[in-house]
Structure 1
Amino acid sequence: MECMKESSPVATREHRLHTAGWREWVSLPELGIFRIKAKMDTGARTSCIHAFEVEPFEKDGTQWVRFRVHPEQNNVEHVVTCEAEVADFRAVTDSGGHREMRYVIKTQIEFKGMRWPAEFTLTNRDTMKFRMLVGRTTMNGRLVIDPSLSYQLSIEAEAL
């Protein structure tokens, strides 16, 4: 393993890089989601979150979207209803090569002691193991992933 030199551009960036595990508990406080397990996915460009009953609507002359989330895997009783302004509506290709039009929202993502704005696409992940993927764009300049670790920056890391 190589050590980072002090003169490295990564070492002198405004945001120091933090090591995250391949999975983390995170929070999306502006959406009212205070604990959701996320896979740190360096193969995905954009982050995504499990959403169902996605309904666009207009609010104060801008396009918004209302959607529901099951933040806990295998628990359909716990539902959080969210609203967010639409940042974009774009075609996304999933890991299986399937293209899908998805709403894109911007909201704050929070890891233990850190918070920053991030883009998320909304898609149904009912059959997936993780309700959320954190992609490269969200991690860039802030996180590095150690695939041998889990829950390094989790909101409740001590309790796990």
Structure 2
Amino acid sequence: MLKRLAIPLVIASLSACVASPDTAHKASPLHANTTSEQSINEKSFTQLNKRLTLIEQNIVEQIESKCQIKNSSDENAQLSNLLTAQANVKHAPVKKTQPQSAKVVEKIVVEQCNQEQPLIVGAVEHVSFIKEQLSFDARIDTGAATSSIGVYELTPFERDGADWVRFKLENTKVAIGFEYPVIGKVQIKQQSSKKSVTRLEIKIGVVLGDKQYRHQVFNLADRSHLDYQIMIGRSFLENNALVDVSKQFLLGKK
């Protein structure tokens, strides 16, 4: 949950430090003969208020668009410089109505947005592929460095000078073939053999639980001899999920 502390604090600071031009004008009977000086001061107040409004809007825009602000040192510096400059203006009403402590400029504090909590998954979970609209039970394997998809009729080919691959996710004659650009190759050492095999890698979108994860890297393999066609490895889990290996289908079984 986003906590926005900047705006109330700025407003609170300004209410103690800055008088509006209208208030300053009404509180200046002893300086009626300094019309030009008062005009300059009122103009300074107007400019100050405009600058503070821009700073406030900038903070809000950063929060809403990025939801992650590490600090607000630039805004703090701008606000501090503006208020310090204004405090040096010889404006009688400000001096008369403000206690000495009001000259202290409080910093703008923007609390960093809370990071989205990772999923808690079991040793086996149900996953779906976004584009393909197909679902499978997947093995969640923290011992595997990468994630893997078991495919059928794997066919590499070239398109416009780039490497592509065509494959099926179902082992039937009427199964639909899918095509993806190859983003790389990875060497996988199989447990049953000391030899390494080369696998093609693609980026594909998956759904785990109620969340979508687009552009996830999977290598393509023959997993027909294994219990699970899909394996989710550390490359996916590191940023997205925590694993409770003692349980299965913590996200629900469809």
Tell me which amino acid in the other structure corresponds to 2:229: R
Post-superposition CA distance 1:69-95 (Å, at most 9, x none)? 23xxxxx44734221110102221123
Structure 1 residue 127 corresponds to structure 2 residue 217: no
Structure-2 separation of matches of 1:100 and 1:21: 28
* Structure with the largest fraction of helix: 2
Q: What is the 5 A alignment of 1:50-69?
A: 50-69=150-169
Among candidates 48, 51, 57, match of residue 148 of structure 2 = 48
Structure-2 separation of matches of 1:13 and 1:44: 29
* Structure with the largest fraction of strand: 1
| Offset at residue 13 of structure 1 (A) | 7.2
Tell me which amino acid in the other structure corresponds to 2:149: I
Q: Identity over the aligned pairs, expressed in percent?
A: 25
Tell me which amino acid in the other structure corresponds to 2:157: F
Structure-2 separation of matches of 1:139 and 1:80: 29
Post-superposition CA distance 1:100-146 (Å, at most 9, x none)? 01100011121122112311111101110000100011111211111
| Offset at residue 29 of structure 1 (A) | 1.3
Which residue of structure 2 aligns with residue 115 of structure 1? 212
Tell me which amino acid in the other structure corresponds to 2:182: V
Structure-2 separation of matches of 1:128 and 1:24: 16
Q: What is the 5 A alignment of 1:73-88?
A: 76-77=171-172, 79-88=175-184
Which residue of structure 1 aligns with residue 185 of structure 2? 89
Which residue of structure 1 aligns with residue 121 of structure 2? 20
Structure-1 separation of matches of 2:176 and 2:251: 23
Contact 1:21/1:148 (8 A) holds in 2: yes
Structure-2 separation of matches of 1:20 and 1:142: 10
Post-superposition CA distance 1:22-72 (Å, at most 9, x none)? 101101112x142111000000010001112111122344221001223xx
- Higher-Rg member (1/2): 2
- Residues 90/141 of structure 1: CA separation in 2 closer, same or farther (3 Å cut): closer
- Identify unmatched segments of 5+ residues in structure 2: 1-112
Structure 1 residue 39 corresponds to structure 2 residue 139: yes
Which residue of structure 2 aligns with residue 143 of structure 1? 241
Which structure exhibits the higher relative contact order, with contacts defined as CA atoms closer than 8 Å and separated by 6 or more residues?
1
- Residues 148/80 of structure 1: CA separation in 2 closer, same or farther (3 Å cut): farther
Among candidates 125, 130, 134, match of residue 29 of structure 1 = 130
- In the alignment of these two chains, the number of paired residues is 139
